[in-house]
Amino acid sequence: MGYTAAKHGMAGLTRALASEWAARGVNVNAIAPGYIATELTEALQMDTQRSKALVDRTPAARWGQPYDLAGAVVFLASPASDFVHGAILSVDGGWLVR
């Protein structure tokens, strides 16, 4: 329950700060990653049953890799996103569309 509350808190903070700072030329956005293969998720990756269940539920049918986040980071850090405020960009292999 704490994880869900924290995620919603970050979403709310992103939107609130974007609303307050947009007029000052400050963009506030967030990236919401899905299951990314990192050291932090290593135990989950090694649990073959749980890992398979996650991959089976993900439309991309694989674990995300850290490099999968690069495009979103570059976009949000570039002038291409100058008129993007308060967005939460999901980079999750389609997890949220299910």
Question: What CATH code is carried by the domain that includes residue 35?
Answer: 3.40.50.720
The number of folded domains in the chain is: 1
pLDDT for the residue numbered 88: 97
Task: Give the span between the Cα atoms of 36 and 51, in whole angstroms.
Answer: 11
Which pTM was predicted?
Answer: 0.89
User: Does position 1 have pLDDT exceeding 90, yes or no?
Assistant: no
How many CB atoms are closer than 10 A to CB 71? Answer: 11
Check if the beta carbon of residue 84 is closer than 8 Å to that of residue 29: yes
Task: Give the span between the Cα atoms of 40 and 57, in whole angstroms.
Answer: 20
Closest CA to 29 of 41, 42, 16: 16
Residue range of the domain that includes 77: 2-97
Reported confidence tier of residue 3, pLDDT bands at 50, 70, 90: confident
Which of the residues are catalytic?
A: 3
In the predicted model, what is the mean pLDDT of the chain? 97
More confident residue, 1 or 93: 93
Please name every residue paired with 91 in a beta bridge, in sequence order, or none if there are none. Answer: 33
